[in-house]
Amino acid sequence: MRILEGKTAIITGTNRGIGRAALEVFARNGADVIAHARAPSSKFEALCRSIGEKYGVKARPLCFDMTDYEAMKAAAKEIMSSKTPVDALINNAGITYNALFQASPLSEVRRQMEVNFFAPFAFTQMIVKLMLRRKGGSIVNISSSAAFDGNEGKSAYGASKAALAAMTKSIAKELGAEGIRANCIAPGITETDMIFSMPEQIVSDVRETTDLRVCAKPSDIAECAAFLASDLASYITGAVIRVDGGL
């Protein structure tokens, strides 16, 4: 069963990590994907082409810097002018930062908010216009367990992801009557570039605090996003779902 058959999804940050996994999971489940990356490259174009051919769907690259509002607006206009129906928006693109509170410069705090909150906020405003025309759609925001757990060294990152979760709950209430759902996923420790840059002992310590004693794979998060984007989740909105192995 391809739970996203006939749907079109926009997924941001598909060049690696959770976004890269989501590109494949959504395509495998029958969705055409508009795959965002920050910068164009022949490698990324080849990836999209390969996944599209593998699953018999369209996987179209769309490249722009999420912090460049004008480039973002141009990309949204391109989608609108193509008259592509958008059924789902997965706000995945983001950055991480680890530093103790007293050692966190305001410039980095602002950068976290710019990429992890302001960018998806603005892009969602643009894409929701397309969903309103069709009276339906699903928005899935990728937050983090750090938004709720108060981890040491993650005051800036956690705050930006908490803002994204709060946005999710508000737009779920505002847009529900228009047939648009909004949900949030809060991953725990996941095998992405973020943990590969951390000391192994820290990763091991966190992993051992989970009930399952393993890190998530990016596909674990992507599968949850696919479910929330599908009609199987048609009565789920305003939810924050922790995919954290029992952290």
103 burial via Cβ count (<10 Å: 0-12, 13-18, 19+): exposed
Exactly one of 55, 69, 97, 157 is catalytic; name it.
Answer: 157
Tokens read off for 94: 């983001």
Contact 91, 164 (CB under 8 A): yes
Q: Tell me the H-state helices in 103-217.
A: 106-113, 119-134, 146-149, 155-175, 193-196, 200-209
Tokens read off for 120: 């998806």
Distance CA 36, CA 53 (A): 18
Distance CA 77, CA 177 (A): 25
CA dihedral 130, 136, 142, 146 (to 10 degrees): 120
Residue 157 known to be catalytic? yes
Q: What is the dihedral sign for C-alpha 38, 43, 46, 52? A: negative
201 burial via Cβ count (<10 Å: 0-12, 13-18, 19+): exposed
- Which residues form the catalytic set? 157
